[in-house]
Structure 1
């Protein structure tokens, strides 16, 4: 039997569970290794990918209003911080902020971003936290009881199911010292605009999607040939979401450590969902988790929104 090297047992366990299920799927968090994070940063600058520039526009225009939700001397906690590009817009309006706590699963990417921010904002304590925001967060002891505002830009909430989103909002609501939650959400709009945003002409999103197969090969004993899978973006009206899939071109069998995974021609792996909201559907989810929408800001075309939540 072929015993392949496994460096990431958690990835192997979740990949095996998802790829032996019907239909096949992989958790989207595994898209974001160092290369995946870098590719996503490229995606945010593509002409088809409107969410980033639209959200930046909203934040730029309303940062002084949002700053009122961050306690003086408190902590701004960013979930899935990435390059922290949008955070700078808020930080420029927060001269009395005590601490910035960026949370991300990609340790090297997080450290590089945190070091850059620490140089730019010398008066703020920047403490990176390597963690998966879908789990409970162990804050550094010195920041445990500090007043906090959570910051979750980029419409990442949409990557979660309704139950997962409610669970995340509930966990954040239970953080010690939590006072507010500033969150970015993508809104329902015409389907063609949505599809194009997740299937760009340059193929960067396709490379980002296939990168999860490279990661499984490298860390979880996989034998995927990524070129045998096509990237596909689909709109699901039933779930109000864009879905990213990797579709097998051919009948094939792939090794995953000691497990064999068979694919039919046209069979897909569902790798990511991006739910699109209305103000009403957001309100329903946040209320179930103990929050209320205190401020709801959109761009002129109502393509994207930034909401400020308060604990109920």
Structure 2
């Protein structure tokens, strides 16, 4: 493994166990501590106080319990990922969204986390040519992201958007937003798998966006043609192909080419495995970690 890359997990990789109550976040931290994983990213699941992942509705004692448990286990909490939607012409709604994400910046600070991903639009896509809508959304996206980045900078926190959600999942749209925000602490979380949702070739799009990367997500998908008979559990890409989350290394993404692009770039820092398939999550995390380690050594 390259010495400048730290390989760990997104908490979303354990989503099935966390959402069912089979594991708590403290259990996940202990599991990672026993594994060869080196860090944990927290993917917020909403603002419900009963959520298994810390959010702005949690009380201070619960937040401190997670921070202290991670510190004691030697599992750094490296990034906080949260949803947001800045596509609105309503000034009050936009101000409320900005205020909410600023609260998450404060939460990241309390957890000892110095990297944060916030979405910029809702996950849903739009039918047809959405370029005019993107142009319409861009000013409010840039305004909100810039204000949040400047606030985060006062706390030593780097913010980012991810190629996440069909509306801004394409590599060029992500880069356009990063350049328009134009703040030194505003970057991108590069999810190597999500590019296939808009039918881009991951190894090409990953290489294009790595110069702006704050964190990299390693992810894999099974990919089938639009006319394939696939059954339940699949969703469609923008162009109609069938997609389903896979154990890292078992799917159809050319991860060897992707990892080679990462190693040949100037990227150094945190790489998080994000599993979202149907397989048992602990088995998927164990095998995905082994496959990622092998790729980082041999690609």
Task: Judging by fraction of residues, say which structure has more strand.
Answer: 1
Q: TM-score, with normalisation over the residues of structure 1? A: 0.28
**Relative to total residues, which structure has the larger helix share, 1 or 2?**
2
